[in-house]
Amino acid sequence: MSDEIKNTEEMETPDMPEESMADYEAELEASFKKIREGDILTGTVIGVEDDRVILDLKYYAEGIISKEDLSNDPEFNLKEEIHLGDEITATVVRTDDGEGNIVLSRKEANDVLAWDKFKTMMEERTVVPVKITEIVKGGAVAYLDGIRSFIPASKLAAEYVEDLNEWNGKTIEVTVITADEENKRLVLSGREVAREKLADERRRRVAKCQPGSIVEGTVESLKDYGAFVTLENGLTGLLHISQISSQRIKHPGVVLKEGQTIKVKILSAENGKISLSMKAIQPEDEPEEVFDYKEKGEATTGLGALLKGLKL
């Protein structure tokens, strides 16, 4: 054979990849793997039917989980909550269902694995959504990963809830506050999450308050150090006693009363706090009024105090 013919044959023959044992590693592992009842396996969902799901276990047999063995939650909806490609961890109940499939239970695996997960969630303050399925004495019931849990009434929202029935069927965000595996006691709380959301919302709204703006507000309460004023946007700011009047006063009550509508200037809006001033918007040429504080919070002018008791 000439060199020319040899070269032509080499050009026409494609390079074929060499097969090795590594190419059959997964198949070999599956053939040697022995699955026993009680084993906990993780598989990928390859089929979702009305009453069961089918898993690829990387094994010569597929895994089957019936709807009843997926969750303890009475409102569990198989087709809404399980999707192709999901990974599910379950316990082997039987190695053969008569048709060559492995029968699994996610509920049993949850009973073994969920409590470690709950403890981690409690330590890391993980926030998760749950749906309230039942109202009971002193609180509400919800299911987390198929495990029944209790939410005390005092932990349901940012403030104490009077009518629990209004919350039945609602989905709220919660954290785990008790995960007692020995007594199967799982307690959740939505209060911390709700309060943090309110604080975040307040910070966002405060950030929108422009220093220098003049706004109307209502005196909400009086303290020795100043007055709390609710502004038009619903936020509350502090009107410090030093910012009420250009005159030095002993108590906010000499000038203000609860429920009074006043105009104030926003001095600052930082770190979720709003500082206000009445003094900053008083005209410079306005005659200064002298206040005399009495225990009942009444105000009298300096002239009135001078004339009081004067006999004419």
**pLDDT tens digit sequence for 30-71:** 555 688 888 889 999 999 999 999 999 988 889 999 999 998
pLDDT attached to residue 284: 60
Output the 3-class SS for the chain: CCHHHHHHHHHHCCCCCCCCHHHHHHHHHHHHCCCCCCCEEEEEEEEECCCEEEEECCCCCCEEEEHHHCCCCCCCCHHHHCCCCCEEEEEEEECCCCCCCEEEEHHHHHHHHHHHHHHHHHHHCCCEEEEEEEEECCEEEEEECCEEEEEEHHHCCCCCCCCHHHHCCCEEEEEEEEEECCCCEEEEECHHHHHHHHHHHHHHHHHCCCCCCEEEEEEEEEECCEEEEEECCCCEEEEEHHHCCCCCCCCHHHCCCCCCEEEEEEEEEECCEEEEECHHHCCCCCCCCCCEECCCCCEECHHHHHHCCCCC
For the entire predicted model, the pTM comes to 0.56
pLDDT attached to residue 217: 92
Question: Could you tell me which residues come within 8 angstroms of residue 146 by beta carbon, excluding any fewer than 6 positions away?
Answer: 70, 71, 72, 73, 76, 106, 107, 110, 114
**pLDDT tens digit sequence for 112-167:** 788 989 999 999 999 999 999 999 999 999 999 888 999 999 999 998 888 999 99
pLDDT band (50, 70, 90) for residue 303? very low
pLDDT above 90: residue 244: yes
pLDDT above 80: residue 15: no
pLDDT above 60: residue 304: no
Average pLDDT over residues 284-295: 51
pLDDT above 70: residue 185: yes
pLDDT attached to residue 295: 46
Average pLDDT over residues 12-21: 53
Q: What is the mean pLDDT of the chain?
A: 82
